[in-house]
A = this chain, B = another copy of it.
């Protein structure tokens, strides 16, 4: 059994590689929902959908989000009204949000709706939102205050300085059914190459989850999302810098050393392996950049073999 703490794009690609080398039914992905938002009254779970669409082979490979071959008639029509169109929802993608929203209104928990959605796409892994309760990542911007995550991430294209990140509601969240069991039962725990600040931290913010991971530290491998001192995608590097972290695999080691025994870093950072080990993590060096499914599978193999 393998449990993977997961954000969006990076985790989805890693999971795709993982499912190529182990039985899908042995994998549980525990995904961030701090990015979830309600737009037009629809409940949108970007990370759950990115993982689902990627594993179903349906993701738009150029964007890394949304569905391949998508049409945008609803968004184009929404422009007539001056509606909110900076968060692009494709016509087919809308169906996922329509379905999820209706089911949540029917009082079905998000984890159960997610199981219905992944089953509809024919996926055999278990994909769990870390919690069924409301969890909202808020970004604190100097001289402005808190803004919503998607306002920061999509609307402003994460092009603002950040002074703090907060996970609103976390204190009242319970782990979704199956989360703590998956963490307790896993032979291997993986912290996917996702953003430590806004993808993995909200997962760990749900009471009980961080403790459950720490208890399994000796079976836990983190994959650095920082390669050569930069993020491959997204604002992880700027966020780390803004929040006072070192933007390097050493900085990542300092963030994850209490949760994971091993840090997998890219070959370009090989020279930093001793510094990582000096932070108390075993360091595994290999190719971590997932150009495609083959590289993703190779990375997954490296990660799984790093434990036992």
Binding site for B on A (CB under 8 A): 38-43, 71, 73-78, 80-84, 91-99, 101-102, 104-105, 116-117, 120-121
Q: Which of B41, B71, B84, B95 contacts A83 (CB 8 A)?
A: B95
Q: Tell whether, in the assembled complex, residue B105 and residue A81 are in contact, meaning their CB atoms are under 8 Å apart.
A: no
Chain multiplicity (copies): 2
Interface of A, secondary structure class, is helix
Apart from A41-B42, A78-B95, A81-B96, 18 more pairs, CB < 8 Å: A38-B105, A40-B97, A40-B99, A40-B102, A41-B41, A71-B71, A73-B73, A73-B92, A74-B74, A74-B95, A74-B98, A75-B95, A77-B92, A77-B96, A78-B99, A80-B120, A83-B102, A91-B94
A94: chain B residues within 8 A (beta carbon): 74, 77, 91, 94
A92: chain B residues within 8 A (beta carbon): 73-74, 76-77
A91: chain B residues within 8 A (beta carbon): 71, 73-74, 77, 91, 94
- Closest-by-CB residue of B relative to A105 is B41
A43: chain B residues within 8 A (beta carbon): 41
CB distance from A240 to the nearest CB of B (A): 34
Q: Which of A42, A74, A102, A105 has the most CB of B within 10 A?
A: A74
Q: Tell whether, in the assembled complex, residue A82 and residue B41 are in contact, meaning their CB atoms are under 8 Å apart.
A: no
- Closest-by-CB residue of B relative to A121 is B80
Q: Tell whether, in the assembled complex, residue B120 and residue A95 are in contact, meaning their CB atoms are under 8 Å apart.
A: no
- Closest-by-CB residue of B relative to A116 is B81
User: Bound state CA distance, A80 and B120, in angstroms?
Assistant: 6
User: Bound state CA distance, A40 and B93, in angstroms?
Assistant: 14
- Cβ-closest 10 pairs across A and B: A77-B95, A40-B98, A41-B101, A73-B91, A77-B92, A78-B95, A81-B99, A83-B99, A91-B91, A41-B41
User: What are 17 pairs between A and B in contact, CB < 8 Å?
Assistant: A40-B42, A40-B98, A41-B42, A41-B101, A41-B104, A42-B42, A42-B98, A75-B95, A77-B93, A78-B99, A80-B95, A81-B96, A81-B120, A83-B95, A83-B98, A84-B102, A91-B94
